[in-house]
Amino acid sequence: MGAILAKIKQEPVMSQGLVQAVMAFAVAFGLDMRPPQIASILALSAAVLSFVTRTQVTPTVNANPASGAEATSKAA
């Protein structure tokens, strides 16, 4: 289970695509779900994984040289 969570944290966009593809596959092969239920699951997976994605793409250094400020690390 830890390996799965690590992979989701490492590749959140891929994980979101996988959730959506599995849902479409399951419904296409007979999973009895109404469209609002499917939409809710897809929306929830997108929302949760977007928070994980945000941590992976947010810069930790101010890279705006026009501001006149020195580059500083937020990680400190």
At a CB cut-off of 8 Å and minimum separation 6, what does 60 contact? 73, 74, 75
Retrieve residue 45's tokens.
Answer: 């997976």
> Is the model more confident about 61 or about 76?
61
Is-contact 49 12, C-beta < 8 A?
Answer: yes
Give the model's pLDDT for residue 38: 87
Question: Residue 75 pLDDT more than 70?
Answer: no
Give the model's pLDDT for residue 36: 92
2-58 pLDDT tens trace: 888 888 888 888 888 888 899 889 989 998 989 899 899 889 988 888 888 887 776
Give the model's pLDDT for residue 10: 83
Retrieve residue 44's tokens.
Answer: 């929830």
CA–CA separation, 47 vs 75, rounded Å? 25
DSSP type of residue 30: T
